Amino acid sequence: MPPIPRVTKTLLIACVAIFFAGAVLPAVFGPLEAMMALWPLQSGRFMPWQVVTYGFLHGSVGHLFFNMLGLWMFGSEIERLWGERRYLQFLLASLLTAALTQLLVTFVMGSPYPTVGASGALYGLLLAFGMLFPNRTIMPLFPPIPMKARTFVIVFGVLELVLGMTGRSGVAHFAHLGGMLGGFLMIRYWRGQSPFRGRRRW
């Protein structure tokens, strides 16, 4: 197994350290959530830096585990392929578009609850993996059925849309879709494809 690249490793350590700092010292979690979680615009607690910092907080061990597993699985290979700079740019684009999508949804819905987690950036990575390695076979944990990366991305994208339209699970499904959109647009921009035709080439 190749070593975990530097940026991916740093993000893994940071997310795990912040989570366990809040778990071991409960008095720490409240101030962290107040400062770093993505609060709705109408809550009066929103701050500009939260569109980035919310990605370092996680609500449970399961939430942390699956996000870090995905970051390791997809992020490591993409970082090795793209290099640190482009990889960071891509993660930031996915994280920001996920945050902006979630702010819009919570504003329209009038939700008072904050959003945490790196899932938006992770779904951007998932989309990138499907675009870069469409025929690579993936064995997801749920369901444990082997499928091509392209199929995996389509299934999860449709599932997020359906759950976002119909469910009240407390999961930020539209933020996940926003992360995928940001990742898709970033790749189109690098390739000089519409709506960025002629701007830049990969």
Rg of the chain over CA atoms, in angstroms? Answer: 17
Q: Are 114 and 103 in contact (CB under 8 A)?
A: no
Q: Which of 76, 94, 173, 176 is catalytic?
A: 176
Rounded to the nearest angstrom, the gap between the alpha carbon of residue 202 and the centroid of all alpha carbons in its chain is: 23
Decide if 58 is catalytic.
Answer: no
CA distance 180 to 120: 7
Q: Which of 58, 94, 119, 173 is catalytic?
A: 119
Decide if 173 is catalytic.
Answer: no
Closest CA relative to residue 116, chosen from 179, 168, 52: 52
Q: Residue 137 forms beta bridges with which residues?
A: 148
Catalytic residues: 119, 176
